Amino acid sequence: MATVYKLAFSACLFISALQVSAQKVFSEGTIVYDVSIQSGNGMQGGLGNASNTVFLKGNSSRTDMVSPLGKETTIFNSKSDNAVILKEFSGQKLMITLTKENWKTKAKQNSGLKFELLNESKTIAGYNTRKAIANTADGKSIVVYYTPDLVVANKEYDATFANLPGLPVEYEIESGKTKFRYTLSKISYEPVLVSQFDFPTSGYRIMTYEENQQLKKGN
């Protein structure tokens, strides 16, 4: 009987090893999502050619959210240990600077989320995905379909998915009465230029993270 248990245990270890080896770690490249919206009245619509592009290289990350309304870029440079948020709307260009501590504070808004992994799956963008759901501190829900076959090495690129056991392929995030749906459209494993994570040196009105937070409170 002991031999049977040993064989069963060995088989479980072997299967677990196969699952781990099947996962691919994404440490450098580009991930592109198409973005659409769903308003509270059930109407769906796009944001024109809206897209959300994530550039990753080691511990550095850059996210470009582009729509007909404008562009917002978030860059974290791991060498300098600080970040910037660049906003370009209606001809105005604003650069919000963040220290390493500011970056951690900003990440806390959606950090530590616990995802409930559901027994539901579907194929999206050629990936076999599983469903998961989490609730934020302010009562919003995040529904995500992820692939366990691909894991992002840099968990800090988006604190929302730090505890998700795979790459988000499609997800919905609530903001007020509007839901934003992000759907994976492309993944590139091509090397990313280091210059993608450089901060602009001119052309922007500069504001600190603290100043921007105070401005939000005043609105």
Read off the pLDDT of residues 161-215 as tens digits, 9 standing for 90 and up. 999 999 999 999 887 778 899 999 999 999 999 999 999 999 999 999 999 999 8
Question: In this predicted model, which residue has the larger pLDDT, 10 or 214?
Answer: 214
User: Average pLDDT over the chain, rounded to whole?
Assistant: 86
Half-sphere exposure of 154 (CA within 13 A, CB side): 19
d(CA 174, CA 177): 7
Q: Are 53 and 73 in contact (CB under 8 A)?
A: no
In this predicted structure, what is the pLDDT of residue 44?
53
Residue 139 has what pLDDT?
A: 81
Pick the closest to residue 85 from 218, 215, 219, 217 (CA basis). Answer: 215
CA distances from 167 to 62, 109, 119 (A): 16, 20, 17
Residues linked to residue 101 through DSSP beta bridges, in sequence order: none
Q: How far apart are CA 162 and CA 110, in angstroms?
A: 9
Model confidence at 3, in pLDDT bands (50, 70, 90)?
low
Identify the pLDDT of residue 119: 94
Q: Is 49's pLDDT higher than 80?
A: no
- Identify the band that residue 152 occupies on the pLDDT scale cut at 50, 70 and 90: very high
91 pLDDT higher than 60: yes
pLDDT at 17 over 50: no
User: Residue written as tokens 């939000």?
Assistant: 216
43: Cβ contacts below 8 Å, ≥ 6 apart: none
How would residue 58 be classed by pLDDT, with cut points 50, 70 and 90?
A: very high
As a whole number, mean pLDDT of residues 54-75 equals 95
pLDDT digits (tens, 9 = 90+) for 93-143: 999 999 999 998 888 878 889 999 999 999 999 999 999 999 988 888 899
Q: Which pLDDT value is given to residue 219?
A: 61
Q: How far apart are CA 4 and CA 80, in angstroms?
A: 56
**How many Å separate Cα 30 from the centre of its chain?**
12
What letter would DSSP give residue 200? P
Nearest to 72, CA basis, from 47, 100, 109: 47
**Average pLDDT of 57-86?**
94
